[in-house]
């Protein structure tokens, strides 16, 4: 099995055309092609992390004693 990567720009109509030369090690004949889409982040990792800031402030756990909550979670395994 060979793994190939290429970077593309997705056009407005969302239609892409692949024109790739496969390595010689790939035998000719029937094959299965799997396409994995991994959107590239347009923002920095720091900006993504900051989107979570304050998201637990309204949580019932956030209002409790953090040490007591940690002990309860740890003691669940006993």
Spatial neighbors of 25 by CB under 8 A, at least 6 apart, are 2
* DSSP 8-state symbol, 22: P
65 lies in a domain?
yes
Report, in this order, helix, strand and coil percent for the chain, each rounded to 5.
25, 0, 75
- pTM as predicted: 0.37
30 lies in a domain?
no
12 lies in a domain?
no
Per-residue pLDDT reduced to its tens digit, 24-39 = 888 999 988 888 887 7
Give the chain's domain count: 1
Per-residue pLDDT reduced to its tens digit, 36-50 = 887 776 656 666 677
Q: Which domain covers residue 50, as residue numbers?
A: 45-75
54 lies in a domain?
yes
Instruction: Report the Cα 32 to chain-centroid distance in Å.
Output: 24
7 lies in a domain?
no
39 lies in a domain?
no
69 lies in a domain?
yes
Distance CA 42, CA 77 (A): 41
């Amino acid at each position: 099995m060979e793994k190939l990567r290429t970077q593309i720009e997705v056009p407005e109509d969302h239609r892409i055309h692949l024109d790739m030369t496969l390595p010689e090690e790939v035998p000719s004949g029937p094959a299965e092609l799997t396409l994995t889409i991994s959107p590239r982040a347009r923002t920095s990792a720091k900006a993504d992390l900051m989107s979570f800031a304050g998201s637990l402030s309204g949580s019932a756990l956030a209002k409790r004693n953090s040490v007591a909550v940690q002990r309860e979670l740890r003691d669940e395994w006993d």
